[in-house]
Amino acid sequence: MSKTLKARDHHGADSLDITIPVDAVREYDINQGDVFELEAEEQDGDVVLRYRRVYES
């Protein structure tokens, strides 16, 4: 699955929000409260963000 996502302002914080598209939520049974680990790296000049679910609520 490949989707285009937009980073948005997280009100009152310096962090940003990225919304998980409904297609992925349904296909992978992602729920509010699930916890993800983030790996970030540069590959060939691109920033690659990889999320791994580490806890299912």
- For 5, phi and psi rounded to 5 degrees? -120, 155
Answer yes or no: is 1 within a domain.
no
Query: Is 2 a domain residue?
Result: no
Is 36 contained in some domain?
Answer: yes
Q: Is residue 23 part of a domain?
A: yes
Q: Are 24 and 53 in contact (CB under 8 A)?
A: no
Share of the chain above pLDDT 90, in %: 91
Considering the entire predicted model, what is its pTM? 0.81
Matching residue, tokens 């490949």: 2
Nearest to 23 by CA among 51, 4, 8, 50: 4
Q: Would the pLDDT of 23 be above 90?
A: yes
Domain containing 36 equals 8-55
| Structural domains counted in the chain | 1
The two tokens of residue 38 are: 């983030």
Identify the helix (H) or strand (E) that includes residue 27.
Answer: helix 22-27
Q: What CATH number has the domain bearing residue 43?
A: 2.10.260.10
Q: For residue 3, tell me if it sits in a domain.
A: no
> Is the pLDDT assigned to residue 1 strictly greater than 90?
no
